Amino acid sequence: MARSPRQTNDLILDAAYGLFWRQGFLRVSMDQIAERAKLTKRTLYQRFRSKDDMIAATLAHASELALGRLESIELPTNRDAMIDSLFAQIADWAAAPRWSGAGFTRVVVELADLRGHPARAIARRHKAAVEAWYANRLALAKVSSPRKRAREIILLTEGAMMLMLIHGDRSYAEAAARAAKRLVRER
């Protein structure tokens, strides 16, 4: 049975996503993606002009999925309980087998010397959307200056994820939650 162009694109993006998140964006070859998707490399290049275009498309797709999952998260409205819940969920992600940190952060680190790479713009938009999501949740919890606090909390979130990845110690999420609670109380 023939696939539609949309099904073929989804198959490619799913294969690329799995490989990129496990092995890194720059280490994965188009041959590996083709093999995992059970397609020819020619088919990949018919859909995407380059690996860079595929990385960008994969990130855009992953961003849609991740932001959809964020919107479905049920959080307490009490600010301390909300922060505890956010950082507990981050610690839970870090406990997953083969967790490799925040993918959007990782891709920007991998592409640090390629400032104009389209994946960097997608990662920037994704992180801005996550920050806006935090600000909305903080506003619902009646935290003053929710945009400023969201920026501070996303810094704590990113730092906690990187340190959990480096040290393999989920207590960084707890420390970040304590710091975040101080931030929202002090202001």
pLDDT at 153 over 70: yes
Domain that residue 18 falls in: 1-48
Most confident of 5-9, 24-28, 42-46: 42-46
Specify the CATH number for the domain of residue 36: 1.10.10.60
One domain, residues 57 and 132: yes
Asked if 90 and 181 sit in the same domain, the reply is yes
Shared domain check, 92 and 158: yes
Q: Which of these, 154, 153, 150, 127, lies nearest to 140 by C-alpha position?
A: 150
Share of the chain above pLDDT 90, in %: 66
Q: Count how many domains the chain has.
A: 2
The enclosing domain of 133 has a CATH number of 1.10.357.10
| Whole-number pLDDT of residue 24 | 87
* 35 lies in the same domain as 112: no
Task: Looking at the structure, tell me whether residues 23 and 55 fall in a common domain.
Answer: no
* Claim to verify: residue 119 and residue 34 sit in the same structural domain: no
Tell me: do 125 and 156 sit in the same domain. yes
User: How confident is residue 2, by pLDDT bands cut at 50, 70 and 90?
Assistant: confident
> Could you read off the pLDDT of 39-54 as tens digits, one per residue?
999 999 999 999 999 9
Q: Is the per-residue pLDDT at 187 higher than 80?
A: no
Are 74 and 5 contained in the same domain?
Answer: no
Assess contact for 118 and 138: CB atoms under 8 A.
no
Identify whether the C-beta of residue 39 lies closer than 8 Å to the C-beta of residue 11: yes
Average pLDDT over residues 55-77: 90
Percent of the chain at pLDDT above 70? 98
State the DSSP H helix or E strand holding residue 154, giving kind and residue range, or none if neither: helix 146-167
Q: Return the closest-CA partner of residue 177 out of 86, 96, 93, 105.
A: 86
| pTM of structure | 0.88
Quick one: pLDDT at residue 5?
Answer: 81
C-beta of residue 87 within 8 angstroms of C-beta of residue 180: yes
- pLDDT confidence tier of residue 6, bands split at 50, 70 and 90: confident
The pLDDT tens digits for 94-123 are 888 777 778 888 888 888 888 889 999 999
On whether both 25 and 99 belong to a single domain, the answer is no
